[in-house]
Amino acid sequence: MALFSRGKAESLPLMREAAVDFDSGRIRMDENGDVVRVAGREAVRVWVWRALQPDNARFVYSAHTDSYGNTLGQLAGKALPEAESRVAGMVREALAPCPYILGAERFSFTREGSRLIAAFTVRTVYGDVAAESEVWDEL
């Protein structure tokens, strides 16, 4: 049984998260040393970014439920066609627990050295969010 109904922004409380510096991975702080908070679409963007981080593999941290995190590390070292065919499903599976997310679509792939980068659009109750995820040949 879901805590909130999926797909209706008016039935969900406003999503809030601690802001993240996406380049460093650190939580953003204001000039007083307080955590900067974001809400709505930006909060979902932070949740997506965190859920898809390589070090956020599913079942690793007991602080999270078994449905939080990702299994993208299983693709390390796989041939490009196989990795591409599986990334979209793994990303969708990682994002499914969030009731603010309606789906992920429009996947495109690029290869940079040992990295496979998947760019895609996340549909949320607040509108679309552009996102990326990476898989390395070696972890």
Sheet holding 127-136, edge to edge: 101-112, 115-124, 127-136
Q: Which residue has the higher pLDDT, 94 or 137?
A: 94
Name 42's Cβ contacts closer than 8 Å, sequence gap at least 6.
17, 19
The pLDDT of residue 59? 41
| 74 backbone dihedrals φ, ψ, rounded to 5° | -65, -15
Q: Answer yes or no: is pLDDT of 107 > 90.
A: yes
Confidence of residue 18 (pLDDT cuts 50, 70, 90): very high
pLDDT at res. 65? 47
What's residue 30's pLDDT? 96
* CA distance to 69, 84, 100, 124, per residue, from 113 (Å): 25, 15, 34, 32
Q: Which domains does the chain have, with CATH numbers?
A: 13-136 (3.10.450.40)
pLDDT of residue 41: 96
Is the model more confident about 127 or about 139? 127
How does pLDDT run across 55-105, given as a tens digit for each residue? 654 444 443 445 566 666 666 666 667 777 788 888 998 899 999 999 999
Mean pLDDT computed over every residue of the chain: 80
